[in-house]
Amino acid sequence: MSDLRSGRKVVGAVALTLLAVGCGGGSAGPTPAPAFDGDLSQVLTIEIRNERLDAASIFLFIEGSRQRLGDVRGNQTQTFHVPLERASQITMTFNITLGPSCVTRSVVLRPGEEIRVRIPVNLNTMQAVCRPR
C-alpha cells in the first residue's frame, strides 16, 4: 500500500506485499536497532510489529545482497534504519524461532521511505511464502 499524500510506503498485515517479517522466541532481549546519526533521507526506515508470541530473526536482500537487520521479540515493535543510496529491489525474509522461514515478494524502495511491517499470529494471512525449517 502507498500513502501518496505523505510520500511514505506503509505496510499493513503481512503488509506491503513486499515485506513480511518473522519472529523467533526466547532470546535474551531485543537486538538494538542500528543507530543512525546521519541524514534520514538517505535511509530506509522499517518498523516491524511482531504480533506472535515467539521472536523472529529478520533479513533483507537488497539487490541480492543479504543483510541481517536483527531480532524482533514476540509482541514487540522494533525500528531499523538501513542506509540506502538509491532505489533498490528489496526482499525480506524472517525466521521464526521454532517455526517456519518466510520470504516476501520483492519491491522497489527508495531512500527516505518508511515502511511498517506486521507479522500476524496467523502467517497464512501474510503475503509471503513460509516453509518449515
Q: DSSP string spanning 3-32?
A: ETTTTEE---BT-SSS-----B---SSPPP
What is the separation of C-alpha 115 from the centre of its chain, rounded to a whole number of angstroms? Answer: 8
Count structural domains, the chain. 1
Is the entire prediction scored with pTM above 0.85?
A: no
> In angstroms, rounded to a whole number, what is the distance separating the alpha carbons of residues 70 and 67?
9
Q: What is the CATH number of the domain that holds 105?
A: 2.60.40.2890
- Residue 81 lies in domain: 2-122
Each of the 133 residues of the chain gets a pLDDT tens digit; together they read 333 333 444 443 333 434 433 333 333 344 444 555 666 789 999 999 999 999 999 999 999 999 999 999 999 999 999 999 999 999 999 999 989 999 999 999 999 999 999 999 999 999 899 999 8
Does residue 128 form part of some domain?
Answer: no
Interacting residues of 37 by C-beta distance below 8 A, sequence separation 6+: none
Does residue 61 form part of some domain?
Answer: yes
Residue 76, CB-side half-sphere exposure with 13 Å CA sphere:
22
